[in-house]
Structures are given as C-alpha cells and as structure tokens.
Structure 1
Amino acid sequence: MRRLPPILWLTLALLVAGCASDQRNQSLTATLNAYANALRWGDFKTAEQFVDPKLRAEHPPSALDWARYAQLRVSEYDDDTGPIADGPDQVRQTVRIHLINVHTQTERSVIDQQTWRYDAKLKRWWLTSGLPDVTQY
C-alpha cells in the first residue's frame, strides 16, 4: 500500500477543519435567526429553550418574570452589529429590543448583551446570558 505524502495529509486536515468550522458558523446563524424570530413574535417560552440548560435549571424565570413578558409586545429587534467572536467557542452580540406595554401602549427599548457558547458535543449553540432583562429603563 502506498503512503500519502505529508502535504496531502495537511491539506486533508485543513479541509476537514474548514468543513467543521463552516458547519459551526451555519449553526450559529441558524440559531441566532431562530432566537431572534422567537423574540420578534414575543414568544419568550420558545426563546427560553435557547438558554443553556444548566443556567435554566439554576435560574429559572419566576412567575413575576413570565407575567412581565406576557404584558410586552416586541415591536423591533435590532441585531445589526451581528455576533463577534469572543474566544474559540463563544460569541457576543448586542441587540436593541423595542418593547410595547400592552396595558399602557408605551414603547421603550432595552439593550440585550447576549453571550452564546458552542457545545461541540451536541453541536449546538447555547445562550449563556439568559433571556433579556425587560426591567431596564
């Protein structure tokens, strides 16, 4: 059996790494879009499914938190800056979310500093910063 030259092994390794990186980037884009869509529709229960399970278990939203989310409608979700790498398996994203109180019809906006972590084992991105803090002014 003939052996492959080292340069071919290096090329093959880079191609495999590139494909994995591409898959990870596509996964990030799909995850961020799905999360943004959930929030744009005011579906905080679905958005919670993007939060890291460990964080969800340690700090679940209270009944008061859910009541606050229920009285808000999202009128705009601005993620224009996009994600910025913050290490090999983490990205940060700053989003401005415009909210309308359904009782008073007043609008305000909050800044959501999102941190996302890639779980290589599950090949999935998790939100580690939690759901937006809608109590900010």
Structure 2
Amino acid sequence: MPRTLTILLALVALLLAAPGAEALNARQRTKLEQAQAVFASAVRWSDYEAAWQLVDPKVRTSEPLSDLELARYHQLQVTSYREGGNGSLPDGSVTREVEIGVVNRHTQAERRIRWREQWRWDAEGKRWWQTAGLPDFWEGD
C-alpha cells in the first residue's frame, strides 16, 4: 500500500508541476491557435512586416528590426511552413517547432531550417505574443 500511495503522490506532483498546454483555458487555447495561424500565414506569404507585428513589443523594442535586416528577409521566398505540436514551458509560455523551406530570390538556392516559435500569454491584453522574433534563416552562415 505505501508503494501505491508513493506512486500516486508522485504522479499528482508531476501533474501539478508541469501545467502544459492542456492547462490553458479554452479561450486562451483558441487565441493561441488564432495567433499561431496568423503568424504562420504571414511567414508563409513572406509578409515579414505582418509577422513582426505579432512579435512581443518588448522584443521589438529591445531587438529592433533594421531596414537592412528587413531587406534581407525580402530576398527570400518561403516555400513551406510545417508546424509541429505545442509544448509548454514551466513559465507558462508555449513553444512550437516548425520547419521552414525558403528560396533565395537571387540565387534560387533552397534551404530548410528548423526553428522554434515561443509564445507568451499577455494577461492584460488577453492575447498571445511571439517572443522568438522572426525566423533566423541565416543561422550558421
């Protein structure tokens, strides 16, 4: 009996310690799905200005997007955007792994990158913000 009780208590502690995406209420989950769909659509259509507007204002202020960086993004055409499932972090933020295919418009060179979106719930604004910025298509260059 003590072993069963120990296992049961361990499971309860584990569930309480890791709230997970399932801990989101229905409204937050719906808003997350909507925000992720809008962000994914903006990136799919290479509309980086629209995607940038979904990035957390704190990130936009601390790491502003320069005209040169924006010009580099406009050299790329997104060819695919494959989303993985959502995962949660202990601070309540949500992550999602994506694989993005891009073609450089000048060289016609294609590449695929794996990138992690990270989403933060803004309780005051009742919305989700993407906190990872725009995808880094040049990582490793």
TM-score w.r.t. the length of structure 1 is 0.81
Q: Which residue matches 1:125? A: 128
> By how many angstroms is 1:89 displaced?
2.9
Q: Which residue matches 2:41? A: 37
Q: Which residue matches 1:15? A: none
Aligned to 1:58, which of 62, 82, 95? 62
Q: Name the CA distance, whole Å, in 1 between partners of 2:110 and 2:60.
A: 28
How many correspondences in the alignment? 117
How large is the RMSD of aligned CA atoms in angstroms?
Answer: 1.3
Aligned to 1:67, which of 65, 71, 82? 71
Q: What percent identity do the matched residue pairs reach?
A: 39
Mind listing any 5+ residue stretches in structure 2 that lack a counterpart? 1-23
> By how many angstroms is 1:88 displaced?
5.8
| Larger CA Rg, structure 1 vs 2 | 1
Q: Which amino acid is 1:132 matched to?
A: P
Q: Deviations over 1:16-52 (max 9, x none)?
A: xxxx810000000000011000011000000001100
Aligned to 1:105, which of 103, 108, 116? 108
TM-score w.r.t. the length of structure 2 is 0.78
